[in-house]
Amino acid sequence: MKFAIVVQGAPYSHEASLSALHFVKAVLDAGHEIYRVFFYQDGIYNASDLIVPPQDETDIRAEWLSLSETHKVELITCIASSLRRGLLNKAEAERYERNAANLNTAFEISGLGQLIDAGLAADRTVTFAA
């Protein structure tokens, strides 16, 4: 079965990101497919490459990186949610003349259409909200 996952909560601020990580791993362990993880609202903060957690806390950034590398899980952040919260890739940083880009390379910034597409293409959609 194909799963679409929606993450609406910021890492560390809220448990939603951890719940989504546990769920995605369990989906893959069960032999199902993750069609896409879409990060919306405060969920986009999961894609910041500048996250530096204390050493004794779960490295949520590394967890997403690992899922992307090991299982090729597609991680997409909403562009409108990202821009208004200060999450930029190189192209957006240049477009808006900001002096830094901070998007984790495991993620891509794209449009809200990717959320709708995921919901329609997947067999099941599960939302992890703040």
**Residues forming the active site:** 78
Binding of other proteins by 120 (CB under 8 A) = yes
d(CA 60, CA 74) in angstroms, rounded, equals 16
List of E strands, the chain: 2-7, 33-39, 75-78, 107-110, 124-128
Reference 64, options 20, 30, 94, 121; nearest CA is 20
Binding of other proteins by 119 (CB under 8 A) = yes
d(CA 71, CA 33) in angstroms, rounded, equals 10
Q: Locate 119 and state its tokens.
A: 């919901």
Three-state DSSP state, 104:
coil
Binding of other proteins by 71 (CB under 8 A) = no
Binding of other proteins by 25 (CB under 8 A) = yes
Shortest reach from residue 24's CB to other proteins, in Å? 9
Q: Which C-beta is closer to other proteins: that of 94 or that of 123? A: 123
Q: Considering only residues 11, 36, 37, 40, which one is a binding residue for other proteins as defined by CB under 8 A?
A: 40
Three-state DSSP state, 94:
helix
Q: Considering only residues 2, 12, 19, 58, which one is a binding residue for other proteins as defined by CB under 8 A?
A: 19
Contact residues for other proteins, defined by CB under 8 A? 1, 3, 6, 8, 15-16, 19, 22-23, 25-27, 29-30, 32, 40-41, 78, 80-81, 111-113, 115-117, 119-120, 124-130
